[in-house]
Amino acid sequence: DTEVTQTPKHLVMGMTNKKSLKCEQHMGHRAMYWYKQKAKKPPELMFVYSYEKLSINESVPSRFSPECPNSSLLNLHLHALQPEDSALYLCASSQSLQGSYGYTFGSGTRLTVV
């Protein structure tokens, strides 16, 4: 299995809703990432997990809450989002903690906040 699987593929949520994005990989990668990508922009780093521990939070607002239940799963809990949070949310994993081999990205969740 050489894939990163993200669900759901599309999500529309209201500003008062709570929802979760899920990410799963079975490649034994110990580094996992959440990125956010707006149209015609490169991906922006949100969170880094290393060995299931949160290593980096790139000053992301608290309405985004990551969770790593085990080495294969990564969740992103969403609450009280704003319309400007609408974007493509990408999960990625890496074989190397230095990123020496690049990442494998999931297909993303396209989020629309209404």
Task: Please list every residue from 62 through 81 that binds other proteins, using CB under 8 A.
Answer: none
- Burial label, 17 (beta-carbon count in 10 A; 0-12, 13-18, 19+): middle
Contact 67, 53 (CB under 8 A): no
**Binding status of residue 47 toward other proteins by CB under 8 A:** no
Which three-class secondary structure state does DSSP give residue 41?
A: coil
**Binding status of residue 8 toward other proteins by CB under 8 A:** no
**Binding status of residue 7 toward other proteins by CB under 8 A:** no
Q: Which residues bind other proteins (CB under 8 A)?
A: 31, 33, 41-43, 45, 48, 50, 55-56, 88, 90, 94, 96-108, 110
